Amino acid sequence: MNLDLMPGWLMVKPLLPETKTKIGIELPADAVEQPPCGEVIALGSLIHNKNEEYCFPDLKVGLKVYFQKWGGLSMKIEGVKYMFLQYKDLIAVEKKEEK
């Protein structure tokens, strides 16, 4: 996939919800609510605020992000569902622990 995202946009692969309970019961996919989170696949260039400082400088490919449930655009590319979000649609970033 060869995409250049526009400034202020990011591409996220939504994480699939767990469909099996702790005791091994398989649930139908439509019975499990899709979590509003996913892994960052690609980033557009960073945007500046009024003071010419970069916004969201710690965002990197591979991080897990949480976003607004109804934010962004959902598209299938080569059979895989992706979300295209603006930085303002993000709620939180899960930081990886450094060892």
Both tokens of 21, joined, read 């309970």
**Is position 37 within any domain?**
yes
pLDDT in tens, 2-58: 888 888 899 999 887 667 777 877 777 666 666 688 999 998 877 766 776 666 657
- CATH number, domain at 64? 2.30.33.40
At residue 68, the 3 state secondary structure works out as coil
What's the farthest any 2 CA atoms get from each other in the chain? Answer: 54
pLDDT category of residue 84 using cuts at 50, 70 and 90: very high
**Cα separations in angstroms, 31 against 19, 41, 82, 88:** 8, 27, 21, 29
- Domain with 65 in it: 9-16+30-94
**Is position 2 within any domain?**
no
By CB atoms closer than 10 A (0-12, 13-18, 19+), residue 46 is middle
